[in-house]
């Protein structure tokens, strides 16, 4: 009898073990593998050590100002600019490309100085402001990386373009002897140049979080947001156009930067 009781107790214990395992984990599978989470519900263990990859990538948006110097400053004023850019890095090496656009005011309404015998302007800027477009592609190297601040000098190529509408003018005298003018032909004028740019990115980290981003590939990612302050200087030579415009432009931008970096255990 005692042997029978022992056999029955052992059988009962084997029968309820899967139930106890399911109660502890909250999961049960139909194939008898109780206590295992489905693959889609597995998460990184809390005590796991995550290692960052050497690559990151992101986008930055911001605004700032550009201020021409030398001969370019004889014709255009400085202006506010908006900026959008993409960036990526491997270790301390960085690559970025961005676009600036703004609307600088004119310093001269007839920069060609075309006049008739009486000294009247025969050409006149049709717009109140010009359109300014700048595009850069730069490479850089992070020379200082602190807990929350990084400093990266960059150099690269820079394309810039001023564009606006110009009116031709015709002058005459009415019956009362007063001078008047009429607008003639209107055309699009632009000045563009390839040059170089040098800048320094000062990134001040605002936050850093680990997030799962299935739409950006498998695995966890570290998302870092930063404030980026970037003073820069560019050089352009518009000597192929009349009037001759060339010289440096100095500027700065303040941007919000978002970066993603892959993580692995």
What pLDDT, on a 0 to 100 scale, did the predictor assign at position 231? 98
Mean pLDDT lowest for which of 53-67, 71-85, 168-182? 168-182
What pLDDT, on a 0 to 100 scale, did the predictor assign at position 12? 44
CA distance 256 to 230: 11
Whether residues 177 and 115 share a domain: the answer is yes
Question: Do residues 114 and 174 lie in contact, with contact meaning Cβ atoms separated by under 8 Å?
Answer: no
Whether residues 167 and 182 share a domain: the answer is yes
Question: Do residues 94 and 87 lie in contact, with contact meaning Cβ atoms separated by under 8 Å?
Answer: yes
Per-residue model confidence as pLDDT tens digits over 137-180 = 999 999 999 999 999 999 999 999 999 999 999 888 888 888 88
Mean pLDDT lowest for which of 21-25, 209-213, 228-232? 21-25
Tally of CB atoms within 10 A around 31 = 7
Whether the predicted pLDDT of 257 surpasses 80: yes
Whether the predicted pLDDT of 244 surpasses 90: no
Question: Do residues 260 and 59 lie in contact, with contact meaning Cβ atoms separated by under 8 Å?
Answer: no
Per-residue model confidence as pLDDT tens digits over 181-199 = 888 899 898 899 999 999 9
Question: Do residues 123 and 166 lie in contact, with contact meaning Cβ atoms separated by under 8 Å?
Answer: yes
> Can you give the CATH number for the domain in which 175 is found?
2.40.160.20
CA distance 48 to 43: 10
Place of tokens 């599978």: 29
Number of domains observed in the structure of the chain: 2
Whether residues 5 and 114 share a domain: the answer is no
Whether residues 110 and 197 share a domain: the answer is yes
* DSSP label at residue 22: H
CA distance 220 to 213: 7
Whether residues 3 and 84 share a domain: the answer is no
Residue 207: both structure tokens together: 């936050």
Instruction: Supply the range of the domain harboring residue 199.
Output: 43-264
Whether residues 64 and 138 share a domain: the answer is yes
CA distance 263 to 209: 12
Q: Which of 237, 42, 105 is nearest to 158 (CA)?
A: 237
Whether the predicted pLDDT of 35 surpasses 80: no
Q: What is the 3-state secondary structure (H, E, C) of 191-229?
A: EEEEEEEEEEEEEEEEEEEEEECCECECCEEEEEEEEEE
Whether the predicted pLDDT of 7 surpasses 60: no
Confidence class for position 116, pLDDT limits 50, 70, 90? confident
Whether residues 163 and 96 share a domain: the answer is yes
Whether residues 58 and 69 share a domain: the answer is yes
Whether residues 22 and 88 share a domain: the answer is no
Whether residues 177 and 128 share a domain: the answer is yes
Confidence class for position 27, pLDDT limits 50, 70, 90? very low
What pLDDT, on a 0 to 100 scale, did the predictor assign at position 264? 62
Question: Do residues 259 and 215 lie in contact, with contact meaning Cβ atoms separated by under 8 Å?
Answer: no
Whether the predicted pLDDT of 108 surpasses 60: yes
Tell me what the mean pLDDT of segment 199-203 comes to.
98
Cα end-to-end distance, the chain, whole Å: 56
Whether the predicted pLDDT of 86 surpasses 90: yes
Whether residues 56 and 34 share a domain: the answer is no
Please name the residues in contact with 88: beta carbons below 8 A apart, sequence gap of 6 or more: 55, 56, 57, 58, 94, 95, 96
Question: Do residues 227 and 203 lie in contact, with contact meaning Cβ atoms separated by under 8 Å?
Answer: yes
Residue 241: both structure tokens together: 């156009």
Tell me what the mean pLDDT of segment 240-257 comes to.
88
Whether residues 154 and 50 share a domain: the answer is yes
Tell me what the mean pLDDT of segment 94-113 comes to.
93
Tell me what the mean pLDDT of segment 50-57 comes to.
72
The neighbouring-strand residues paired with 90 are: 55, 93
Entry pTM: 0.74
What pLDDT, on a 0 to 100 scale, did the predictor assign at position 175? 81
């Amino acid at each position: 009898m005692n042997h029978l009781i022992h056999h029955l107790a052992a059988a009962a214990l084997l029968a309820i073990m899967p139930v106890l395992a399911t109660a502890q984990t909250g999961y049960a599978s139909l194939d008898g593998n109780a206590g295992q989470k489905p693959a889609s519900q597995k998460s990184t263990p809390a005590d796991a050590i995550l290692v960052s990859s050497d690559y990151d990538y992101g986008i930055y948006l911001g605004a700032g100002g550009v201020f021409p110097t030398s001969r370019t400053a004889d014709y255009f004023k400085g202006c506010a600019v908006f900026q959008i850019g993409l960036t990526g890095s491997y270790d301390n090496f960085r690559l970025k490309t961005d676009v600036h656009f703004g609307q600088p005011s004119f310093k001269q309404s007839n920069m060609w100085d075309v006049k008739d015998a009486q000294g009247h302007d025969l050409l006149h800027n049709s717009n109140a402001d010009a359109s300014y477009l700048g595009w850069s592609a730069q490479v850089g190297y992070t020379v200082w990386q602190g807990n929350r601040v990084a400093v990266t000098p960059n150099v690269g190529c820079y394309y810039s373009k001023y564009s606006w509408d110009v009116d031709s003018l015709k002058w005459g005298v009415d019956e009362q002897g007063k001078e008047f003018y009429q607008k003639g032909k209107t055309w699009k004028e632009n000045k563009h140049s390839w040059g170089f740019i040098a800048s320094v990115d000062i990134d001040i980290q605002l936050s850093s979080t680990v997030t799962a981003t299935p739409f950006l590939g498998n695995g966890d990612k570290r998302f870092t947001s930063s404030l980026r302050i970037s003073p820069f200087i560019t050089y352009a030579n518009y000597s192929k156009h009349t009037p001759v415009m060339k010289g440096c432009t100095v500027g700065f931008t303040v941007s919000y930067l978002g970066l993603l970096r892959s993580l692995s255990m």
